[in-house]
Structure 1
Amino acid sequence: MKKLLALSFFSMFVASQAHAGFISAVNGDDMAGISVTVTLDDNSSETIVWGATGLNTGGAFGSLGIDGWSLVESGDTIGGNDGSGLFGVWTLANYTGQAIKSLFVDLSATSVVFDTEFFDLSGNGSLAGRQFTYDDRFAAVNAGFSMNYMDELFRGLTITGQQGNLLADRGEFGFMIDTDIVTVPAPATLSILALSLLGLAARSRRKQA
Protein backbone atom coordinates (compact mmCIF):
# COMPACT_ATOMS: atom_id res chain seq x y z
CA MET A 1 0.00 0.00 0.00
CA LYS A 2 2.83 2.39 0.94
CA LYS A 3 4.54 1.73 -2.38
CA LEU A 4 1.32 2.45 -4.26
CA LEU A 5 0.83 5.68 -2.31
CA ALA A 6 4.39 6.80 -3.06
CA LEU A 7 3.93 5.98 -6.74
CA SER A 8 0.68 7.93 -6.80
CA PHE A 9 2.31 11.05 -5.38
CA PHE A 10 5.27 10.69 -7.75
CA SER A 11 2.91 10.46 -10.72
CA MET A 12 1.06 13.53 -9.49
CA PHE A 13 4.33 15.47 -9.21
CA VAL A 14 5.48 14.51 -12.70
CA ALA A 15 2.11 15.39 -14.22
CA SER A 16 2.05 18.76 -12.43
CA GLN A 17 5.38 19.63 -14.04
CA ALA A 18 4.10 18.87 -17.55
CA HIS A 19 3.87 21.81 -19.90
CA ALA A 20 0.74 23.25 -21.33
CA GLY A 21 0.79 23.62 -25.12
CA PHE A 22 1.05 27.07 -26.69
CA ILE A 23 0.96 28.82 -30.05
CA SER A 24 3.39 31.70 -29.61
CA ALA A 25 2.89 33.45 -32.98
CA VAL A 26 -0.46 35.21 -32.55
CA ASN A 27 -1.78 37.93 -34.88
CA GLY A 28 -4.70 40.31 -34.58
CA ASP A 29 -7.07 38.05 -36.52
CA ASP A 30 -6.28 35.12 -34.20
CA MET A 31 -7.81 36.87 -31.18
CA ALA A 32 -11.48 36.90 -32.24
CA GLY A 33 -13.75 36.60 -29.22
CA ILE A 34 -11.75 38.61 -26.71
CA SER A 35 -13.56 41.65 -25.31
CA VAL A 36 -12.49 45.28 -24.94
CA THR A 37 -14.03 47.75 -22.48
CA VAL A 38 -13.46 51.49 -22.71
CA THR A 39 -14.52 53.85 -19.90
CA LEU A 40 -14.85 57.56 -20.64
CA ASP A 41 -14.28 60.56 -18.41
CA ASP A 42 -18.00 60.71 -17.48
CA ASN A 43 -17.80 57.03 -16.36
CA SER A 44 -19.89 55.77 -19.27
CA SER A 45 -18.45 52.57 -20.68
CA GLU A 46 -18.83 50.20 -23.60
CA THR A 47 -17.71 46.60 -24.12
CA ILE A 48 -17.09 45.34 -27.66
CA VAL A 49 -16.11 41.83 -28.80
CA TRP A 50 -12.99 41.67 -30.95
CA GLY A 51 -13.20 40.38 -34.50
CA ALA A 52 -10.90 39.67 -37.44
CA THR A 53 -10.77 42.56 -39.89
CA GLY A 54 -8.21 41.37 -42.44
CA LEU A 55 -5.01 39.39 -42.93
CA ASN A 56 -3.21 39.26 -39.56
CA THR A 57 -5.39 42.13 -38.31
CA GLY A 58 -8.23 42.40 -35.82
CA GLY A 59 -9.96 44.92 -33.64
CA ALA A 60 -12.88 46.19 -31.58
CA PHE A 61 -14.89 49.20 -32.71
CA GLY A 62 -17.08 51.16 -30.29
CA SER A 63 -19.83 53.71 -30.87
CA LEU A 64 -19.66 55.86 -27.72
CA GLY A 65 -19.62 59.62 -28.15
CA ILE A 66 -19.40 61.51 -31.44
CA ASP A 67 -17.38 59.21 -33.68
CA GLY A 68 -16.61 56.30 -31.38
CA TRP A 69 -13.36 54.58 -30.51
CA SER A 70 -11.35 51.58 -31.65
CA LEU A 71 -8.60 49.23 -30.58
CA VAL A 72 -6.78 47.39 -33.39
CA GLU A 73 -3.71 45.17 -33.67
CA SER A 74 -1.87 43.88 -36.78
CA GLY A 75 0.93 41.33 -37.02
CA ASP A 76 2.56 39.07 -34.45
CA THR A 77 1.80 40.50 -31.01
CA ILE A 78 5.36 39.94 -29.79
CA GLY A 79 6.10 43.00 -31.93
CA GLY A 80 9.29 44.37 -33.38
CA ASN A 81 10.70 46.37 -36.26
CA ASP A 82 10.91 44.71 -39.67
CA GLY A 83 12.93 47.53 -41.26
CA SER A 84 9.92 49.35 -42.61
CA GLY A 85 8.55 50.21 -39.17
CA LEU A 86 7.04 48.73 -36.05
CA PHE A 87 4.67 45.78 -36.21
CA GLY A 88 2.54 44.19 -33.53
CA VAL A 89 1.39 47.53 -32.07
CA TRP A 90 -2.01 47.74 -30.38
CA THR A 91 -3.52 51.14 -31.27
CA LEU A 92 -6.29 52.74 -29.23
CA ALA A 93 -8.01 55.55 -31.15
CA ASN A 94 -10.39 57.99 -29.48
CA TYR A 95 -12.91 60.11 -31.40
CA THR A 96 -15.67 60.16 -28.78
CA GLY A 97 -15.31 63.82 -27.83
CA GLN A 98 -14.40 62.80 -24.27
CA ALA A 99 -11.17 61.60 -22.71
CA ILE A 100 -10.78 57.86 -22.21
CA LYS A 101 -10.29 57.08 -18.54
CA SER A 102 -9.35 53.41 -18.83
CA LEU A 103 -9.04 50.44 -21.16
CA PHE A 104 -9.69 46.84 -20.14
CA VAL A 105 -8.84 43.89 -22.40
CA ASP A 106 -10.44 40.62 -21.30
CA LEU A 107 -9.18 37.36 -22.86
CA SER A 108 -11.07 35.00 -20.55
CA ALA A 109 -13.72 33.91 -23.09
CA THR A 110 -10.99 32.53 -25.36
CA SER A 111 -7.78 30.47 -25.20
CA VAL A 112 -5.65 33.61 -25.57
CA VAL A 113 -3.33 34.71 -22.73
CA PHE A 114 -0.99 37.64 -22.23
CA ASP A 115 2.66 36.50 -22.07
CA THR A 116 4.31 39.21 -19.98
CA GLU A 117 8.00 38.19 -19.87
CA PHE A 118 10.67 38.61 -22.55
CA PHE A 119 12.24 35.27 -21.68
CA ASP A 120 10.60 31.96 -20.84
CA LEU A 121 12.04 31.96 -17.32
CA SER A 122 9.16 29.91 -15.91
CA GLY A 123 9.91 26.97 -18.21
CA ASN A 124 6.19 26.41 -18.81
CA GLY A 125 6.56 26.09 -22.59
CA SER A 126 5.13 29.49 -23.55
CA LEU A 127 8.44 30.66 -25.09
CA ALA A 128 9.47 34.32 -25.18
CA GLY A 129 6.90 37.02 -24.52
CA ARG A 130 6.97 40.79 -24.22
CA GLN A 131 6.57 43.04 -21.22
CA PHE A 132 4.07 45.88 -21.55
CA THR A 133 5.58 48.86 -23.39
CA TYR A 134 3.90 51.98 -24.72
CA ASP A 135 4.40 55.10 -26.82
CA ASP A 136 6.64 57.25 -24.64
CA ARG A 137 5.29 60.44 -26.18
CA PHE A 138 2.40 60.03 -23.75
CA ALA A 139 2.37 60.72 -20.02
CA ALA A 140 3.11 57.73 -17.80
CA VAL A 141 0.41 55.07 -17.62
CA ASN A 142 -0.36 52.16 -15.32
CA ALA A 143 -0.77 48.65 -16.73
CA GLY A 144 -2.22 46.07 -14.37
CA PHE A 145 -2.60 42.39 -15.20
CA SER A 146 -5.32 40.19 -13.69
CA MET A 147 -6.84 36.71 -13.96
CA ASN A 148 -3.55 34.84 -13.71
CA TYR A 149 -3.52 31.69 -15.85
CA MET A 150 -0.14 30.44 -14.66
CA ASP A 151 3.28 31.93 -13.92
CA GLU A 152 3.71 35.03 -16.13
CA LEU A 153 0.55 34.41 -18.16
CA PHE A 154 -2.62 36.46 -17.58
CA ARG A 155 -6.10 36.88 -19.10
CA GLY A 156 -6.84 40.49 -18.15
CA LEU A 157 -5.12 43.84 -18.78
CA THR A 158 -6.24 47.23 -17.42
CA ILE A 159 -4.53 50.43 -18.61
CA THR A 160 -5.07 53.78 -16.90
CA GLY A 161 -3.29 57.12 -16.76
CA GLN A 162 -1.06 57.74 -13.76
CA GLN A 163 -2.06 61.38 -13.45
CA GLY A 164 -5.54 61.44 -14.92
CA ASN A 165 -7.11 60.13 -18.08
CA LEU A 166 -5.41 57.65 -20.36
CA LEU A 167 -6.14 59.38 -23.67
CA ALA A 168 -7.45 62.83 -24.57
CA ASP A 169 -10.77 63.38 -26.34
CA ARG A 170 -9.18 62.91 -29.76
CA GLY A 171 -6.02 61.03 -30.61
CA GLU A 172 -4.27 57.67 -30.56
CA PHE A 173 -2.29 55.67 -28.03
CA GLY A 174 -0.02 52.76 -28.99
CA PHE A 175 1.30 49.93 -26.85
CA MET A 176 2.80 46.46 -27.16
CA ILE A 177 2.02 43.30 -25.22
CA ASP A 178 2.50 39.74 -26.40
CA THR A 179 -0.22 37.09 -26.51
CA ASP A 180 -0.15 33.30 -26.86
CA ILE A 181 -2.89 30.77 -27.53
CA VAL A 182 -3.21 27.83 -25.13
CA THR A 183 -3.65 24.61 -27.11
CA VAL A 184 -3.29 22.08 -24.27
CA PRO A 185 -4.38 23.20 -20.77
CA ALA A 186 -1.89 22.77 -17.94
CA PRO A 187 -2.63 19.70 -15.78
CA ALA A 188 -4.69 20.34 -12.66
CA THR A 189 -2.59 19.05 -9.75
CA LEU A 190 -5.46 18.79 -7.27
CA SER A 191 -7.60 16.85 -9.75
CA ILE A 192 -4.73 14.41 -10.35
CA LEU A 193 -4.28 13.94 -6.60
CA ALA A 194 -8.01 13.36 -6.05
CA LEU A 195 -8.18 10.75 -8.79
CA SER A 196 -5.08 8.99 -7.43
CA LEU A 197 -6.50 8.81 -3.90
CA LEU A 198 -9.86 7.55 -5.19
CA GLY A 199 -8.06 4.80 -7.06
CA LEU A 200 -6.14 3.78 -3.94
CA ALA A 201 -9.33 3.75 -1.86
CA ALA A 202 -11.11 1.56 -4.40
CA ARG A 203 -8.17 -0.87 -4.47
CA SER A 204 -8.15 -1.05 -0.67
CA ARG A 205 -11.87 -1.85 -0.56
CA ARG A 206 -11.45 -4.65 -3.10
CA LYS A 207 -8.69 -6.23 -0.97
CA GLN A 208 -10.83 -6.07 2.18
CA ALA A 209 -13.75 -7.71 0.35
Structure 2
Amino acid sequence: MKKLLTASAFLTATSLLGMVGNAQAATISALTGYSTMGGASTGMQVRVTFADNTTSTGVWSAVDFYSGAASADGWTLFQSGDTFGNPWTFSNNSSKTISSLFINAIAGSTLFDRTNPNPGTTGSAAGWDFTPVSGSSPTSFTYSNIVNLVGQPAVGDLYAALTINWDSGFSTGSNLSFIADTDSAISVIDPSNPQPVPVPAAFIGIGLAGAFLAKKEISRRQKSHKA
Protein backbone atom coordinates (compact mmCIF):
# COMPACT_ATOMS: atom_id res chain seq x y z
CA MET A 1 0.00 0.00 0.00
CA LYS A 2 1.35 3.39 -0.93
CA LYS A 3 2.61 5.69 1.79
CA LEU A 4 1.30 9.16 0.97
CA LEU A 5 3.40 12.20 1.79
CA THR A 6 1.77 15.17 3.45
CA ALA A 7 2.34 18.81 2.59
CA SER A 8 4.47 19.29 5.70
CA ALA A 9 7.08 16.90 4.33
CA PHE A 10 7.76 19.28 1.48
CA LEU A 11 8.40 22.24 3.75
CA THR A 12 11.83 20.82 4.63
CA ALA A 13 12.94 21.03 1.00
CA THR A 14 14.66 23.93 -0.71
CA SER A 15 14.51 25.30 -4.25
CA LEU A 16 16.87 23.42 -6.52
CA LEU A 17 18.26 23.97 -9.97
CA GLY A 18 16.84 21.23 -12.15
CA MET A 19 18.68 20.32 -15.34
CA VAL A 20 18.38 17.95 -18.25
CA GLY A 21 21.12 16.52 -20.41
CA ASN A 22 20.24 15.17 -23.82
CA ALA A 23 23.65 14.49 -25.34
CA GLN A 24 22.70 10.83 -25.79
CA ALA A 25 19.35 9.13 -26.16
CA ALA A 26 18.15 5.69 -25.14
CA THR A 27 15.45 3.70 -26.91
CA ILE A 28 13.15 1.08 -25.40
CA SER A 29 10.62 -1.18 -27.02
CA ALA A 30 7.92 -0.93 -24.35
CA LEU A 31 7.01 0.05 -20.80
CA THR A 32 5.84 -2.73 -18.47
CA GLY A 33 4.08 -0.37 -16.08
CA TYR A 34 4.34 2.69 -13.93
CA SER A 35 4.11 1.24 -10.38
CA THR A 36 7.77 0.36 -10.03
CA MET A 37 8.80 -1.07 -6.67
CA GLY A 38 12.27 -0.89 -5.17
CA GLY A 39 12.80 -4.58 -5.81
CA ALA A 40 12.15 -4.29 -9.55
CA SER A 41 15.37 -2.55 -10.65
CA THR A 42 18.01 -5.26 -10.28
CA GLY A 43 21.15 -4.31 -12.18
CA MET A 44 20.73 -0.54 -11.86
CA GLN A 45 24.14 1.11 -11.49
CA VAL A 46 24.83 3.59 -8.69
CA ARG A 47 28.03 5.65 -8.62
CA VAL A 48 29.23 7.96 -5.88
CA THR A 49 31.88 10.62 -6.48
CA PHE A 50 33.77 11.76 -3.40
CA ALA A 51 35.13 15.24 -2.75
CA ASP A 52 38.63 13.99 -3.57
CA ASN A 53 37.35 12.94 -7.06
CA THR A 54 37.61 9.21 -6.36
CA THR A 55 34.54 7.12 -7.16
CA SER A 56 32.71 4.12 -5.78
CA THR A 57 30.18 2.00 -7.68
CA GLY A 58 27.44 -0.34 -6.47
CA VAL A 59 24.87 -2.45 -8.31
CA TRP A 60 21.22 -2.45 -7.29
CA SER A 61 19.81 -5.72 -6.02
CA ALA A 62 16.42 -6.72 -4.67
CA VAL A 63 15.95 -7.09 -0.92
CA ASP A 64 12.44 -8.43 -1.51
CA PHE A 65 9.61 -7.75 -3.98
CA TYR A 66 9.05 -4.24 -2.63
CA SER A 67 12.57 -3.15 -1.72
CA GLY A 68 16.01 -2.82 -3.21
CA ALA A 69 19.39 -1.29 -2.43
CA ALA A 70 22.92 -0.62 -3.64
CA SER A 71 25.90 -0.05 -1.38
CA ALA A 72 29.69 0.09 -1.41
CA ASP A 73 32.52 1.59 0.63
CA GLY A 74 30.29 2.83 3.44
CA TRP A 75 27.41 4.46 1.49
CA THR A 76 23.95 3.00 0.88
CA LEU A 77 21.02 3.86 -1.40
CA PHE A 78 17.74 2.16 -0.44
CA GLN A 79 14.15 2.32 -1.69
CA SER A 80 10.98 0.44 -0.70
CA GLY A 81 7.49 0.52 -2.24
CA ASP A 82 6.14 2.26 -5.33
CA THR A 83 8.62 5.01 -6.24
CA PHE A 84 5.66 7.27 -6.94
CA GLY A 85 5.30 8.59 -3.39
CA ASN A 86 7.65 6.30 -1.46
CA PRO A 87 11.05 7.86 -0.78
CA TRP A 88 14.57 6.72 -1.52
CA THR A 89 17.13 7.02 1.30
CA PHE A 90 20.78 7.81 0.67
CA SER A 91 23.20 7.45 3.58
CA ASN A 92 26.89 8.28 3.86
CA ASN A 93 28.64 6.20 6.49
CA SER A 94 31.97 6.28 4.69
CA SER A 95 35.01 8.19 5.89
CA LYS A 96 34.75 10.68 3.02
CA THR A 97 32.56 13.59 1.96
CA ILE A 98 30.46 12.89 -1.14
CA SER A 99 30.04 15.44 -3.94
CA SER A 100 27.57 13.60 -6.21
CA LEU A 101 25.34 10.56 -6.60
CA PHE A 102 24.73 9.14 -10.10
CA ILE A 103 21.95 6.58 -10.74
CA ASN A 104 22.06 4.81 -14.10
CA ALA A 105 18.52 3.43 -13.90
CA ILE A 106 18.26 2.04 -17.41
CA ALA A 107 20.93 -0.54 -16.61
CA GLY A 108 18.21 -2.12 -14.44
CA SER A 109 15.47 -1.75 -17.09
CA THR A 110 14.15 1.24 -15.16
CA LEU A 111 13.51 4.85 -16.19
CA PHE A 112 12.99 8.09 -14.30
CA ASP A 113 9.55 9.57 -14.99
CA ARG A 114 9.35 13.35 -14.57
CA THR A 115 6.29 15.36 -13.55
CA ASN A 116 5.99 17.11 -16.92
CA PRO A 117 4.90 16.72 -19.61
CA ASN A 118 1.75 15.13 -18.27
CA PRO A 119 0.39 13.11 -19.91
CA GLY A 120 3.74 11.99 -21.17
CA THR A 121 4.97 8.87 -22.94
CA THR A 122 2.19 6.36 -23.59
CA GLY A 123 1.96 3.94 -20.67
CA SER A 124 4.01 6.05 -18.24
CA ALA A 125 1.09 7.64 -16.32
CA ALA A 126 1.89 10.54 -13.98
CA GLY A 127 5.50 11.13 -12.96
CA TRP A 128 7.17 12.88 -10.05
CA ASP A 129 10.32 14.99 -10.31
CA PHE A 130 13.21 14.58 -7.89
CA THR A 131 12.00 16.10 -4.61
CA PRO A 132 13.99 16.20 -1.34
CA VAL A 133 11.87 15.21 1.66
CA SER A 134 14.33 15.40 4.57
CA GLY A 135 18.03 15.40 5.36
CA SER A 136 20.93 17.13 3.60
CA SER A 137 19.34 18.67 0.51
CA PRO A 138 21.55 18.83 -2.60
CA THR A 139 22.52 21.92 -4.56
CA SER A 140 21.20 20.64 -7.90
CA PHE A 141 19.98 17.59 -9.76
CA THR A 142 20.38 16.53 -13.39
CA TYR A 143 18.26 14.19 -15.50
CA SER A 144 20.22 12.82 -18.45
CA ASN A 145 19.72 10.68 -21.56
CA ILE A 146 16.18 11.24 -22.75
CA VAL A 147 14.29 8.03 -23.54
CA ASN A 148 11.92 7.27 -26.40
CA LEU A 149 9.78 4.32 -27.45
CA VAL A 150 11.07 2.63 -30.59
CA GLY A 151 9.56 4.25 -33.68
CA GLN A 152 8.38 7.30 -31.75
CA PRO A 153 10.07 10.59 -30.81
CA ALA A 154 10.96 11.27 -27.19
CA VAL A 155 8.18 13.08 -25.34
CA GLY A 156 10.42 14.55 -22.63
CA ASP A 157 9.21 12.85 -19.46
CA LEU A 158 11.42 9.74 -19.40
CA TYR A 159 15.16 9.76 -18.68
CA ALA A 160 17.72 7.01 -18.23
CA ALA A 161 19.76 8.57 -15.42
CA LEU A 162 19.71 11.01 -12.51
CA THR A 163 22.62 12.86 -10.89
CA ILE A 164 22.34 14.59 -7.51
CA ASN A 165 25.02 17.15 -6.58
CA TRP A 166 26.20 18.77 -3.34
CA ASP A 167 28.47 21.78 -3.92
CA SER A 168 29.41 21.92 -0.25
CA GLY A 169 29.57 18.15 0.12
CA PHE A 170 27.44 15.40 1.61
CA SER A 171 29.42 14.73 4.76
CA THR A 172 30.01 11.57 6.75
CA GLY A 173 26.93 10.68 8.77
CA SER A 174 24.58 12.53 6.41
CA ASN A 175 21.27 11.17 5.11
CA LEU A 176 18.90 12.29 2.36
CA SER A 177 15.34 11.13 1.80
CA PHE A 178 13.90 12.00 -1.61
CA ILE A 179 11.16 11.19 -4.10
CA ALA A 180 12.07 10.25 -7.68
CA ASP A 181 9.42 8.37 -9.63
CA THR A 182 10.47 5.50 -11.89
CA ASP A 183 8.82 3.26 -14.49
CA SER A 184 9.83 -0.19 -15.70
CA ALA A 185 10.89 -0.91 -19.28
CA ILE A 186 11.48 -4.04 -21.34
CA SER A 187 13.79 -4.79 -24.24
CA VAL A 188 16.19 -1.92 -23.82
CA ILE A 189 17.46 -1.27 -27.35
CA ASP A 190 20.26 1.14 -26.48
CA PRO A 191 21.32 1.59 -22.84
CA SER A 192 24.16 3.81 -24.14
CA ASN A 193 25.98 4.20 -20.79
CA PRO A 194 24.32 7.47 -19.76
CA GLN A 195 26.61 10.32 -18.76
CA PRO A 196 25.16 13.58 -17.39
CA VAL A 197 25.72 16.59 -19.66
CA PRO A 198 23.68 19.31 -17.95
CA VAL A 199 21.79 21.94 -19.91
CA PRO A 200 19.92 24.50 -17.74
CA ALA A 201 16.20 23.88 -17.76
CA ALA A 202 14.38 25.65 -14.95
CA PHE A 203 14.34 26.48 -11.27
CA ILE A 204 11.91 24.18 -9.54
CA GLY A 205 10.36 25.65 -6.38
CA ILE A 206 9.43 23.03 -3.85
CA GLY A 207 6.99 24.08 -1.13
CA LEU A 208 3.31 24.17 -0.38
CA ALA A 209 2.32 24.67 -4.01
CA GLY A 210 4.46 21.70 -5.04
CA ALA A 211 2.97 19.57 -2.30
CA PHE A 212 -0.57 20.49 -3.35
CA LEU A 213 0.10 19.56 -6.97
CA ALA A 214 1.85 16.35 -5.93
CA LYS A 215 -1.14 15.28 -3.84
CA LYS A 216 -3.40 15.89 -6.85
CA GLU A 217 -1.10 13.70 -8.94
CA ILE A 218 -1.28 10.94 -6.30
CA SER A 219 -5.08 11.07 -6.30
CA ARG A 220 -5.20 10.90 -10.07
CA ARG A 221 -2.73 8.03 -10.16
CA GLN A 222 -4.64 6.08 -7.54
CA LYS A 223 -7.78 6.40 -9.64
CA SER A 224 -5.92 5.05 -12.68
CA HIS A 225 -4.83 2.03 -10.61
CA LYS A 226 -8.43 1.29 -9.69
CA ALA A 227 -9.77 1.74 -13.21
Q: TM-score range by the shorter chain?
A: 0.5 to 0.7
Q: Find out whether 1:90 has 2:88 as its counterpart.
A: yes
Q: 2:144 aligns with which of 143, 146, 158?
A: 146
Superposed counterparts of 1:192-203, under 5 Å:
none
Q: Find out whether 1:133 has 2:145 as its counterpart.
A: no
2:176 and 2:188 mapped to 1: Cα distance? 33
Superposed counterparts of 1:28-67, under 5 Å:
28-63=38-73
Partner of 1:181: 184
Partner of 2:161: 156
- Gaps (5+ residues) in structure 2? 1-28, 148-153, 190-227
User: CA distance change for structure 1 residues 140 and 51 in 2, over 3 Å: closer, same or farther?
Assistant: closer
User: CA distance change for structure 1 residues 185 and 60 in 2, over 3 Å: closer, same or farther?
Assistant: closer
Q: Is the CA contact (8 Å cut-off) linking 2:138 and 2:165 kept in structure 1? A: no
- 1:119, distance to aligned residue in structure 2 (A): 6.6
1:182 and 1:45 mapped to 2: Cα distance? 28
1:102 and 1:137 mapped to 2: Cα distance? 15
1:139 and 1:114 mapped to 2: Cα distance? 19
User: CA distance change for structure 1 residues 140 and 37 in 2, over 3 Å: closer, same or farther?
Assistant: closer
Larger radius of gyration: 1
The share of aligned pairs that are identical, in percent, is 31
- 1:102, distance to aligned residue in structure 2 (A): 0.3
Classify the secondary structure of the residue corresponding to 1:47.
Answer: strand
User: CA distance change for structure 1 residues 26 and 139 in 2, over 3 Å: closer, same or farther?
Assistant: closer
1:33-70 per-residue CA deviation (whole Å, 9 max, x = no partner) reads 1000011111111111100012411000112xxxx110
For 2:93, give the aligned amino acid. Y
Classify the secondary structure of the residue corresponding to 2:107.
Answer: coil
TM-score calculated relative to the size of structure 2: 0.62
Classify the secondary structure of the residue corresponding to 1:121.
Answer: coil
User: CA distance change for structure 1 residues 121 and 30 in 2, over 3 Å: closer, same or farther?
Assistant: same
1:160-181 per-residue CA deviation (whole Å, 9 max, x = no partner) reads 02x421x111121111100001
Looking at both structures, which has the greater relative contact order when contacts are Cα pairs under 8 Å and sequence separation is at least 6?
Answer: 2
1:112-154 per-residue CA deviation (whole Å, 9 max, x = no partner) reads 1100116732352210111110035534521100011032100
1:97 and 1:71 mapped to 2: Cα distance? 16
1:185 and 1:34 mapped to 2: Cα distance? 13
1:185 and 1:45 mapped to 2: Cα distance? 26
Bigger helix fraction: 1
1:93 and 1:121 mapped to 2: Cα distance? 33
- 1:107, distance to aligned residue in structure 2 (A): 1.7
User: CA distance change for structure 1 residues 76 and 119 in 2, over 3 Å: closer, same or farther?
Assistant: farther
For 1:135, give the aligned amino acid. V
1:15-43 per-residue CA deviation (whole Å, 9 max, x = no partner) reads xxxx9444111111001110000111111
1:171 and 1:137 mapped to 2: Cα distance? 7
- Gaps (5+ residues) in structure 1? 1-18, 80-87, 187-209
TM-score calculated relative to the size of structure 1: 0.67
